[in-house]
Amino acid sequence: MLMVTAKIIAKPGERNNIILKAKDLIESTRLESGCISYNLYASTENDDVLMILEQWKNQDVLDSHMQTKHFIAFGKAVEDILAGELDINVYSADKIN
């Protein structure tokens, strides 16, 4: 299993626009085969920071997700209201002993 963090920093005043634009992305992604979990969270320290936490069955389904219409549409819809690039990190969910 893979875990993904996608940190989103909104331009000042654009946080709620990003949340609204993420609704279709979240709903559609949760229906994808191989998606275990896909949720949006807000920072408690900075109103402009959001985080998508994702869990995927494997790399193949994650790669497929990044080619979906809803993923691409979200990227285009928010590109002008982001303060910078998304900070995306992928982790193996295997425990390290």
For residue 97, what pLDDT is reported? 75
37-42 mean pLDDT? 98
For residue 91, what pLDDT is reported? 96
Mean pLDDT of the chain: 96
For residue 11, what pLDDT is reported? 98
Write down the architecture of domain 2-92 according to CATH: 2-Layer Sandwich (3.30)
**What distance in Å separates the CA atoms of residue 14 and residue 23, rounded to the nearest whole number?**
15
Provide the residue ranges of all domains of the chain, joining segments of one domain with +: 2-92
Q: Does pLDDT of 95 surpass 80?
A: no
For residue 87, what pLDDT is reported? 96
64-74 mean pLDDT? 97
Q: What is the DSSP annotation of 29-96?
A: HHTSTTEEEEEEEE-SS-TTEEEEEEEES-HHHHHHHTTSHHHHHHHHHHTTTBSS--EEEEEE-SPP
65-80 mean pLDDT? 97
